[in-house]
Chain A
Amino acid sequence: DIQMTQSPSSVSASVGDRVTITCQASQGISSWLAWYQQKPGKAPKLLIYAASSLQSGVPSRFSGSGSGTDFTLTISSLQPEDFATYYCQQAKSFPLTFGGGTKVEIK
């Protein structure tokens, strides 16, 4: 199985801050990576697919980069509605696996 390791597990930030979350795969997955945002009590929401493609309707302050084993989700200017938990997911092979999540909290 491909293990997905996210860091940090939590981050405290202020509105307007630039936030970067990393995700490392235990083996190369090319660009087969997605990022999701989840708010408490809600279903996850797809933000990024294919490592860097912005899902329709997602604000452009979200961006993804990376390939192979190392990936990054960046929020260029944190907004109040962005406080949530973020997950990466490898889409290369079964079983599909998620990272452990990164909680973005208000500083």
Chain B
Amino acid sequence: EVQLVESGGGLVQPGGSLRLSCAASGFTVSSSYMSWVRQAPGKGLEWVSVIYSGGRAYYADSEKGRVTISRDNSKNTLYLQMNSLGAEDTAVYYCARDSFSGSYGIVFDYWGQGTLVTVSS
């Protein structure tokens, strides 16, 4: 069974950093297209980043230079390193898998439960 479990969220001060983790089971992260999608409280969905199985990564324009997506194959875990955080980054962050490997564009058929990041002083 495919499972995605996010962790690492919490309260962080403006300008701070945070690393989110997404532990996967039931499949191999390094062989998959994996993304981060966030949702601010009461708002819609916003794509943040994707990493392809081959390692190439893409980012939303608003996040370029501030976030880095990566994975640890030995731990079968996806990460999102976020720096220079601001109030606009407050959101639930979901990791998601595209098990079609981009055959229909990047879509998200498996999601974690999300981890809440709150940026506030």
A98 close to B44 (CB less than 8 A)? yes
Q: Does A100 sit within 8 A of B, measured CB to CB?
A: yes
A87 close to B104 (CB less than 8 A)? no
Q: Of A38, A87, A91, A95, which is within 8 A of B105 by CB? A: A91
* Segment of A14-22, A46-54, A67-75, A76-84 in the binding face: A46-54
Q: Does B45 sit within 8 A of A, measured CB to CB?
A: yes
* Segment of B23-31, B72-80, B81-89, B108-116 in the binding face: B108-116
Residue of A nearest to B46 (CB): A98
Q: Does B107 sit within 8 A of A, measured CB to CB?
A: yes
Q: Does A65 sit within 8 A of B, measured CB to CB?
A: no
Q: Known interface pairs A1-B61, A43-B94, A43-B114. Does A92 touch B44 (Cβ–Cβ under 8 Å)?
A: no
Within A16-43, the residues touching B (CB, 8 Å) are 32, 34, 36, 38, 43
- Determine which residue in A45, A46, A53, A87 has the highest number of CB atoms from chain B within 10 A of its CB, and name it: A46
The CA of A100 and the CA of B109, in the complex, are separated in Å by 19
Supply 19 further A-B pairs (C-beta < 8 A) apart from A55-B109, A98-B47.
Answer: A1-B61, A34-B108, A36-B108, A43-B114, A44-B108, A44-B111, A49-B104, A49-B107, A87-B45, A89-B45, A89-B47, A89-B107, A91-B105, A92-B105, A95-B60, A96-B47, A96-B105, A98-B44, A100-B44
B contact residues vs A (CB 8 Å cutoff): 35, 44-47, 50, 58-61, 94, 100, 104-109, 111-114
Q: Can you name 25 A-B pairs with beta carbons within 8 Å?
A: A1-B61, A34-B107, A38-B45, A43-B113, A43-B114, A44-B108, A45-B111, A49-B109, A50-B104, A53-B104, A55-B109, A87-B45, A89-B45, A89-B108, A90-B105, A91-B105, A91-B106, A94-B50, A94-B58, A95-B47, A95-B58, A95-B61, A96-B47, A96-B106, A98-B47
